[in-house]
Amino acid sequence: MFESLIFRSLGLSALTALITESLKIFMLYINFSIQNTMLIALIFSYILSYIIQRYVFCGGRFFGISLLKYCAVVVISVQITKKLLQLLQNNKTIKNYIEDKNISDTRRKIYNYLLINISVLTIFFAIDYPLRKSFIFMKKENDYVYSYILYSIAIVMYICSDNS
């Protein structure tokens, strides 16, 4: 039973990653902006991963407190990932590599793809994964309170950001 659950989870996670990475590559290929590519891919990935996790671990019950908590973590993570990507793009060394006139357009897209993935993976391992283990899929007494606090933080982050 447990081994079957692990294999099903890993298989569906690999499928989610394949679809999301293909989406990112396609969007960069057709010259979407790096910011829009990251945002669309992140939102798509979070929706798909939530559906799959709920299907695998809970038999398909999608609504409830875990959805509220998941969305609270997602709105924070997306904003922080966007900010990290902006910081990386504005880094002088990285900017020089990407804006170099001697590199091909394909190489520039590969660099942008790497920047997106560095941003996403950094925030995933720093924020998302720990909160998935200790907050999102664990029932606790003050779940609603913590969710509303995270939403409040997300709203303040949005208002205080330059939204560019």
Per-residue pLDDT for 5 more than 70? no
Per-residue pLDDT for 120 more than 80? yes
For residue 117, which of 9, 14, 12, 45 has the smallest C-alpha distance? 45
Residue 45's CB: how many other CB atoms inside 10 A?
20
- The answer to whether 42 touches 78, Cβ cutoff 8 Å, is yes
DSSP symbol at 150: H
Please give the average per-residue pLDDT across 100-128, as a whole number: 92
Per-residue pLDDT for 137 more than 70? no
pTM (2 d.p.)? 0.83
**φ, ψ for residue 152 (rounded to 5)?**
-65, -45
**Which residue's entry shows tokens 């913590």?**
146
Tens-place pLDDT, residues 53-97: 777 776 666 777 778 888 888 999 999 999 999 999 999 999 998
Mean of the per-residue pLDDT values of the chain: 85
